[in-house]
Amino acid sequence: MSRGRRSDRNGSPLSRKLSDLLGPGREVSVSGNYLAGPQGLLWSINARAVLDVIDREGPLGRPEITRATGLSKTTVAQALRELVARGVVEEAGADTTRRGPAATLYRIAPRCALALGVDIGHLRIRAVLVDAAGETLAQAETRAPRRRVADTAAAVTALAAECAERAGTGPGDIGQAVVGVPAVVARDGRTVRRAYGLPQGGRGLAEVIERDLSVPLLLENDVNLAAVAEQRFGACAGVADFVLLGVGVGLGAGIVLGGRLHRGFAGGAGEVGFLPHPATELGTEVLGARRIAEQARQAGIEGSPSPQEIFESARGGDERALAVVDATARRIAHVAASIALVIEPELFVLGGAFGASADLLLGRIRRHLARDAAPLPIRIIASGVSGDAVLRGAAWLARHRARERAFAAVMGGRPHDMTTGGPYDTDLTGSGKGDIT
């Protein structure tokens, strides 16, 4: 057993990588800059510590990396030299206040991992290609096919090819695709258990897209992806426990607990649009575009106005439209109260298509909560992400997984956050600093 100058008793960044790189039943101990155990892991663990620091805080110079990892200057220099040679780290200019090697800044090489985010909506399909730094390289969209899964898959494949061409690369260079769907997706990230508007119920969608695109692919519920975007880029940055209420065609909840998506035993957590509600049959959808249309008819509003048109009429003072808005706010308040009784999140966020009408809804929701659920400490705010929340969430998760694949390929280990608890068992509060821009 090698011995170092100082034992790692308090859990340094170096030692925290061991559980991710070792298989079951294999143990190592770390002392100073030396490893006792499977010797082939030494470089992988050191390099992973360096990569994580650069990913989280870069661009950084050698002195900052040395302090953050607890590794020696020599070890950091060796790791950086090899990571640059392998194409996952690159030089990013210099700190003009320093001289020599210490002045060089390092960052994750943007092109080491390309990722595709896709949002399959009821009316259109949108795609975005991003690099490892989160920079948007290309975007494209098309109308959503309505009849066959094969048509939907072909549309996604065409959008991926269009994005790749615009970015000066090929679809084969994409390291990961994540596709948001209006559906309940099993924890395997591939099986559609229940779909809302997908052709043929979405059966076989993941397999057909992956076959045609030849890229690792996972499906995810669209509201869950909106919750990811809210945590990474919106109102819930740093919030470990929150619920995003996505209201549009229907109502769904993206639940984040302990910084991780809560997907339930089989992926169906968050289907709150079917919660029991007074004067409705069990299993009846209590909120969404169809329900609002029904309320509008009951209020005597003629024609078939969209929810957005009803909200605009309410802003203009139409009493019938205001009654529909108030009824909608009351139902949202009851749903939030029901959820709060079970999981007590720190925060609720109003998102989805109705998030754009937060100016009309939030005050009314809060009044209903104060009247009907006063003992519950419920906070609800407007979404901090624009209308592309699903797409941004898909791009972030795809980018995270693409980088993990690239890092693992370089170091010979297994990707972090990709092996337990389903395909998205990722701590959203601390998985890199990069935004999708």
Domains identified in the chain and CATH numbers: 15-108 (1.10.10.10), 111-226+388-411 (3.30.420.40), 236-382 (3.30.420.40)
CA 356, CA 372: separation in Å to the nearest integer? 25
CA nearest neighbour of 90 among 135, 133, 134: 133
Q: What is the pLDDT along the chain (437 residues), one digit of tens a residue?
A: 333 333 343 445 455 555 555 544 444 444 444 444 444 578 888 888 999 999 989 899 999 999 999 999 999 999 999 999 999 999 999 888 888 888 999 999 999 999 999 999 988 999 999 999 999 999 999 999 988 999 999 999 999 999 999 999 999 999 999 999 998 999 999 988 888 778 777 888 999 999 999 999 999 999 999 999 999 999 999 999 999 999 877 889 999 999 999 999 989 899 887 777 665 665 556 677 778 888 888 888 888 888 888 889 999 998 999 999 999 999 999 999 999 999 999 999 999 888 888 899 999 999 999 998 878 889 999 999 977 999 999 999 999 999 999 988 887 656 655 433 344 455 555 544 545 54
Decide if 226 contacts 244 (C-beta within 8 A): yes
Q: Which amino acid is at 270?
A: G
Burial of 320 (0-12, 13-18, 19+ CB in 10 A): middle
Residue 142, beta-bridge partner list: 125
Decide if 182 contacts 249 (C-beta within 8 A): yes
The pTM of the full predicted model, rounded to 2 decimals, is 0.84
